[in-house]
């Protein structure tokens, strides 16, 4: 039995499927055989991969270079006897480990959500008797019935379809229910076109059907998606990658300098214990203890700001990832579009008309080019709208102010267009009661209804369906004013083709009279004698705000690509309306699209060559969505993937950041994503990207602010050892500086608002380091001022007869107040704090005041003097401290101003470039 699992079931005939699965369409499986197969195949549910033990998952959070540095700092501080400081440092590490551990179960939660997706009841045939059983008990070979409203319990090969339609939007992205049939299909038919298959987790929306279960649990299409979710790599974000690289480099630098310091001291015959403690002081001074806390707090503040802008972050680093995103891969249905079919165009004997409004809310009207149609609707328009309203089995209802549909979305759209044209079905049906119907079937390609119209002395046939098929039923057409005229078949087909090229789904309508005595459509005498009344063109329209959001993303240098399971023409039309394309400068070039079948024929190398220029990928399956995300990542892109369906989940998890719809999204998509949009609004992504860029800038500012302190402290220690003098600052004083300034000063940078024009800049190159060469120069400049000033003051005080404790206290204050003044420099990477608004971030001012008060306590409180080895200092000493700190601020401000000027002097002017070009 196991050898047949995985067959191309859609390619086989019903008889072959029954034979291969050893079942019977009229009796089903026996109870004994069903029990045997349950033992063989297991329950019809999804299994997740074996998870790591909780302890192992928790310990893995410590396996990072920066955490190694902090653990070393904690151990060293404890060895020195400062247990409170050691506890604080290790507490930061522990909290970060807990936060990381809580994020580990994302894939497992997604799999659990998929389990819930397919657990339902099913009507199954066992021993010739229909039974209702749990879907968990289904086995391959079971014969299952489906009817409208049922959730498909397993992957099934349909053997019978009575107008069965299945909503597969969550699996394939198809925006309308799919008409099912039992006939076999070509072996290379893609998933979205397999009309003889019903897949687990989809919904029957209309009609009835019967099928044979061919796959359960992990072997279903939903199960394969679960495997892809579990198997997708938990990619690190740009932020974590950069910090890991920076921490690794810093680890080696600190170990090297500490070892060098120890070796120099030993060669100078200094006591080993003293040299060891000095090396420890150097290591402690250069470890940025506040960095992990700053990263966490900055990201958390970004999360809070995003929540106010209707985006919920499930994973902290995702905030920063948004800011570095270079490509957004978006699903179409429900993300860029409203997932509500809407009639937008009419073609009648009275001409072309536009239907305004979108969605199922019947707000809008029918307008002719050049003006609105009057309430006395033209005969041609009334005919085509009435046909759509009466030849219809769906309902449009209003519940608590919200318009909802019951039945097929396409038929619901026809009801809405009829209301907009003052032809509501509720008014027409009582006057023209239905007396017979021919349901729509895929082979027939039309639906017909017969209505009694006594005031006309006849019955009236209404027909809707595929254009070619409806034209075969007609010999005339409705012309201007509803007057009948000869049928111009070629003109109608040309009009329908024009609509189709624009991405519309086109339905044709016709009507004809029958004698009152003829109350059935069973005879065919009416066929070929109908009057063609017109066309209605439908589309799942783009969200009104999506076009502006796409334009904003593109102006920020972010490419937007549509990846959908829908048809290429439809997807291309929506993409064109939204303004998708490779780059804004390529708007005049035709928009490129690639189908799933074409994608399957490309090698990885060929895909890499074309993926940059293709804006639309249509009729793709879940595995192909995942492949596209991986291909973009392999080209160095930071990829954000948006989506709301089951079919989006693997790509959502593989992407650098997955963005799911909070309202319309499936549980699977929400659990696989890093961010949820609470308003399901693509435009919210623009705000999230802006916030993400601001978060990265604030983290960059913090690192730019904190490193000069660590480097300056390390320089003070190292040069003191090399010169053989007393340490200007002690390890415990270094810990005081590092921990208090990070809390009262550095963290305040997390509250900086995004700088103006941040969305006019291109995305950061993912390969670019956190700090540019110019910023690295600034770090060395500040640390040189800090270390040089500290050495000068320490030497000056000691030479003047001051105590070492007093000199060290002044050095501590020099370091701290240089940090305070430099904090204001760091509020903008390239601008003066005055230019961005001195009071724009009041937290910086509050933090500065708080830090100054702490330094006063450290300097004058006896208990603090005892703990930290400090001593009171004079007012003159304070003036020296403040003068040196203010001087550092002015130097950095001048360096900022000189940077752009120097860049302009080094770059040729536009006139010079034009001159050279002209000379050529």
Kindly report the backbone phi and psi dihedral angles of residue 576, in degrees, each rounded to the nearest multiple of 5, phi listed first. -65, -40
Matching residue, tokens 């937290």 = 843
User: Helix, strand or coil for residue 237?
Assistant: coil
Give dist(CA 603, CA 617) in Å, integer. 16
Beta-bridge partners for 158:
211
- Whole-number Cα distances in Å, 580 to 77, 565, 576: 56, 17, 6
Kindly report the backbone phi and psi dihedral angles of residue 810, in degrees, each rounded to the nearest multiple of 5, phi listed first. -65, -40
Give dist(CA 754, CA 751) in Å, integer. 9
Question: Nearest-CA neighbor of 107 among 240, 216, 234?
Answer: 234
Give dist(CA 764, CA 558) in Å, integer. 10
Has 621 been annotated as catalytic? no
Give dist(CA 346, CA 349) in Å, integer. 10
**Assigned token pair, 907:** 């770059």
Give dist(CA 450, CA 96) in Å, integer. 70
- Whole-number Cα distances in Å, 332 to 378, 412, 475, 589, 676: 36, 21, 40, 22, 16
Kindly report the backbone phi and psi dihedral angles of residue 339, in degrees, each rounded to the nearest multiple of 5, phi listed first. 55, 35
Long-range contacts of 467-473 (CB under 8 A, 24+ apart): 467/492, 467/493, 467/496, 467/506, 467/507, 467/508, 467/535, 468/493, 469/444, 469/445, 469/508, 470/446, 470/508, 470/509, 470/510, 470/532, 471/508, 471/532, 472/528, 473/446, 473/510, 473/527, 473/528, 473/530
Question: Left (φ > 0), alpha (ψ -120 to 50) or beta: where does 94 sit?
Answer: alpha
Question: Nearest-CA neighbor of 615 among 578, 655, 656?
Answer: 578
Query: Is the CB of residue 681 less than 8 Å from the CB of residue 545?
Result: yes
Give dist(CA 286, CA 71) in Å, integer. 14
Query: Is the CB of residue 396 less than 8 Å from the CB of residue 412?
Result: yes
Tell me the helices (H) and strands (E) count for the chain, helix number first.
Answer: 33, 28
Query: Which DSSP symbol is given to 335?
Result: I
Give dist(CA 180, CA 192) in Å, integer. 12
Give dist(CA 198, CA 176) in Å, integer. 15
Contacts of 44 (CB under 8 A, 6+ apart): 118, 135, 136, 137, 138, 139, 153, 154, 216, 217
Residue tagged active-site, from 85, 163, 193, 331: 331
**Assigned token pair, 326:** 């270079």
Residues involved in catalysis: 331
């Amino acid at each position: 039995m196991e050898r047949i699992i995985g067959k191309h079931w859609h390619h086989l005939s019903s008889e072959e499927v029954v034979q291969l699965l050893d079942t019977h369409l009229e009796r089903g499986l026996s109870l004994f055989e069903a029990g045997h197969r349950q033992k063989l195949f297991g329950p019809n549910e999804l299994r997740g991969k074996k998870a790591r033990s909780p302890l192992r998952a928790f310990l893995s959070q410590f396996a990072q270079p920066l955490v190694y540095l902090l653990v070393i700092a904690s151990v060293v501080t404890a060895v020195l006897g400062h247990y409170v400081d050691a506890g604080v440092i290790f507490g930061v590490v522990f909290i970060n480990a807990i936060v990381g551990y809580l994020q580990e179960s994302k894939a497992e939660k997604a799999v659990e959500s998929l389990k819930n997706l397919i657990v339902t009841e099913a009507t199954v045939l066992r021993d010739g008797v229909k039974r209702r059983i749990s879907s968990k008990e289904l086995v391959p070979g079971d014969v299952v019935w489906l009817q409208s409203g049922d959730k498909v319990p397993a992957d099934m090969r349909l053997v019978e379809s009575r107008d069965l339609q299945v909503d597969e939007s969550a699996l394939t992205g198809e925006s309308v229910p799919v008409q099912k049939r039992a006939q076999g299909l070509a072996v290379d038919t893609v998933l979205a076109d397999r009309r003889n298959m019903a897949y687990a987790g989809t919904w029957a929306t209309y009609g009835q059907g019967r099928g044979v279960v061919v796959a359960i649990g992990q072997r279903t299409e939903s199960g394969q998606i679960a495997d892809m979710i579990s198997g997708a790599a938990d990619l690190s974000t740009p932020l974590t990658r950069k910090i890991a690289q920076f921490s690794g480099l810093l680890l080696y630098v600190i170990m090297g300098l500490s070892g060098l310091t120890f070796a120099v001291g030993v060669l100078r015959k200094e006591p080993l214990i003293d040299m060891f403690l000095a090396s420890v002081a150097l290591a402690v001074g250069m470890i940025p203890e506040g960095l992990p806390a700053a990263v966490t707090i900055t990201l958390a503040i970004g999360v809070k700001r995003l929540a106010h802008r209707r985006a919920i972050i499930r994973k902290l680093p995702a905030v920063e990832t948004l800011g570095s995103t270079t490509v957004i891969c978006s699903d179409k249905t429900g993300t860029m579009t409203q997932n509500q079919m809407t009639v937008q165009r009419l073609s009648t004997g009275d001409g072309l008309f536009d239907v305004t409004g979108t969605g199922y809310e019947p707000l809008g009207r029918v307008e002719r080019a050049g003006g609105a149609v009057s309430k006395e609707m033209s005969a041609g328009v009334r005919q085509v709208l009435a046909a759509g309203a009466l030849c219809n089995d769906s309902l449009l209802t209003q519940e608590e102010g919200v318009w909802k549909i019951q039945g097929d979305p396409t038929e619901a759209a026809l009801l809405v267009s009829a209301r907009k044209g003052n032809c509501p079905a509720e008014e027409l049906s009582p006057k023209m009661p239905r007396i017979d119907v021919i349901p729509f079937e895929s082979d027939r390609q039309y639906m017909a209804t017969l209505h009694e119209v006594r005031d006309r002395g006849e019955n009236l046939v209404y027909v809707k369906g595929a254009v070619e098929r409806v034209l075969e039923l007609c010999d005339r057409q409705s012309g201007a004013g509803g007057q009948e005229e000869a049928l111009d078949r070629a003109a109608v087909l040309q009009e329908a083709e024009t609509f189709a090229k624009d991405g519309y789904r086109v339905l044709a309508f016709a009507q004809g009279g029958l004698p009152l005595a003829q109350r059935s459509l069973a005879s065919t005498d009416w066929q070929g004698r109908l009057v063609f009344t017109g066309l209605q063109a439908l589309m799942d329209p783009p969200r009104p705000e999506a076009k502006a959001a796409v334009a904003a993303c593109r102006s920020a240098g972010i490419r937007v690509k549509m990846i959908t399971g829908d048809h290429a023409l439809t997807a291309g039309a929506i993409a064109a309306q939204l303004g998708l394309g490779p780059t804004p400068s390529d708007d005049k070039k035709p928009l490129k699209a690639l189908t799933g079948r074409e994608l399957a024929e490309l090698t990885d190398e060929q895909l890499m060559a074309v993926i940059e220029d293709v804006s639309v990928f249509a009729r793709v399956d879940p595995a192909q969505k995942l492949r596209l995300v991986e291909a973009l990542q392999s080209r160095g892109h930071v990829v954000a993937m948006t989506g709301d369906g089951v079919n989006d989940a693997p790509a959502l998890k593989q992407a650098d950041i997955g963005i799911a719809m909070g309202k319309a999204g499936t549980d699977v998509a929400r659990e696989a994503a890093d961010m949820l949009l609470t308003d399901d609004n693509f435009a919210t992504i623009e705000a999230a990207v802006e916030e993400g860029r601001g978060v990265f800038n604030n983290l960059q500012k913090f690192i730019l602010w904190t490193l000069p302190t660590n480097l300056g402290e390390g320089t003070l220690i190292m040069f003191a050892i090399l010169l053989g003098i007393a340490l200007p600052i002690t390890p415990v004083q270094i810990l005081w500086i590092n921990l208090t300034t990070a809390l009262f000063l550095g963290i305040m940078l997390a509250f900086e608002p995004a700088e103006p024009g941040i969305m006019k800049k291109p995305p950061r190159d993912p390969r670019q380091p956190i700090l540019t060469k110019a910023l690295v120069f600034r770090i060395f400049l500040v640390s040189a001022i800090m270390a040089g000033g500290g050495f000068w003051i320490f030497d000056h005080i000691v030479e003047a007869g001051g105590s070492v404790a007093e000199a060290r206290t002044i050095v501590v204050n020099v370091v701290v107040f240089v940090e305070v003044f430099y904090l204001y420099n760091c509020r903008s990477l390239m601008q003066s704090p005055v230019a961005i608004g001195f009071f724009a971030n009041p937290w910086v001012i509050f933090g500065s005041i708080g830090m100054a008060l702490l330094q006063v306590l450290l300097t004058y409180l006896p208990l603090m003097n005892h703990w930290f080895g400090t001593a009171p200092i004079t007012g003159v000493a304070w003036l020296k401290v403040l003068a040196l700190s203010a001087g550092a601020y002015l130097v950095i401000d001048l360096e900022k101003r000189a940077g752009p000027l120097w860049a302009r002097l080094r770059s040729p002017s536009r006139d010079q470039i034009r001159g050279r070009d002209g000379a050529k």
